[in-house]
Amino acid sequence: MDERQAVAAFAALGQENRFRVVRALVTAGPDGLAAGVLATEIGVSATNLTFHLKELSHAGLIQSRREGKSIIYSAAYEGLSDLIAFLMRDCCQGRPEVCAPAVAALAACDCPPGDLAHV
């Protein structure tokens, strides 16, 4: 991930409705959510949602697939983790004041302990 992509991703997340979309999709997991469901969940019109979804998709933070009449959106885990990684790489710069607290956040994360055994 280069600077341009990172800035685009930050811009995508820097909008309330889009941020909520991402959160909803991450929470939903790999199965994702249909556009219509998302629209009601976020409380935004279908038209407007489409606009934001395109924005997020372009930023590489979400992806979509068709399933019957519905279009199912889901979080792009790779894009999200790339962003976290980029932010940490870019901001740590040899300063534990920045990245050490992130480690604490990691501990608070709900991931199954075994999956992080290699830490």
Partner DNA sequence: TCTACGTTTCAACAAACATTGAAACAATGG
Partner DNA sequence: CCATTGTTTCAATGTTTGTTGAAACGTAGA
Give me the sheet containing 70-75, strands edge to edge. Answer: 33-34, 70-75, 62-67
Minimum distance from residue 69 beta carbon to a second copy (Å):
28
95 belongs to the binding site for a second copy (CB under 8 A): yes
64 belongs to the binding site for a second copy (CB under 8 A): no
Q: Rounded distance, CA 61 to CA 75, Å?
A: 6
Q: Rounded distance, CA 110 to CA 86, Å?
A: 22
Residues that bind DNA (CB under 7 A): 11, 15, 17-18, 34-37, 39, 44-55, 64, 66, 68-71
Beta carbon nearer to a second copy, 65 or 89: 89
Minimum distance from residue 76 beta carbon to a second copy (Å):
10
Q: Rounded distance, CA 36 to CA 53, Å?
A: 12
Beta carbon nearer to DNA, 50 or 74: 50
Residue 69 identity: K
